Amino acid sequence: MGLSSRFGIAVHILCVLALRAEEWVASSFIAASIKTNPVVVRRILGSLKSAGLVRAEEGPAGGYRLARKAQAISLDRVYRAVEPEPLFAPHPHRPERRCPVGAGIEQALSVVYTRAGSGLAATLSKETVADVLSRALAAAG
């Protein structure tokens, strides 16, 4: 099971768009900032657009922009837009029901998974794209 980088890339994209809020930004420009393929960026931009977080304009002078101000975009909204899978996946095989652990592990872990997901959502809801951009610019000097 691999870890997803979609959320981090999505926040990076939104920070670039926030920094250049008055212009349409090409996916190739964003991809150069992230050092990834523009196709990856366009795929994530599609999810962000579907979630109402960015707007797109076609044509040579087109590109992408934020659909709302950076301070109005919470990170939990970004996470939900690009991470369709649950935070934790169940084990792919049914546990042995005759084992005392196997009989109750799924129910026991569901409590942990629910709490972890709620904690993540609560933390991300307190942060915005503007917060991350501010820290990124401060760290860059």
* Residues in a beta bridge with 54: 66
Q: Strand runs (DSSP E) across the chain, as ranges?
A: 54-57, 63-66
| Structure tokens belonging to residue 67 | 């659909």
Q: How many angstroms separate the CA atoms of 85 and 44, rounded?
A: 15
Contacts of 102 (CB under 8 A, 6+ apart): 95, 96
Q: How many angstroms separate the CA atoms of 9 and 41, rounded?
A: 8
Q: How many angstroms separate the CA atoms of 47 and 43, rounded?
A: 7
- The reported pTM is 0.88
Domains of the chain, start order: 6-85+128-140 (1.10.10.10)
- The tens-digit pLDDT sequence of the chain (141 residues) is 456 799 999 999 999 999 999 999 999 999 999 999 999 999 999 999 999 999 999 988 899 999 999 999 999 999 999 998 888 877 788 888 999 999 999 999 999 999 999 999 999 999 999 999 999 999 998
Q: Give the type of residue at 3.
A: L
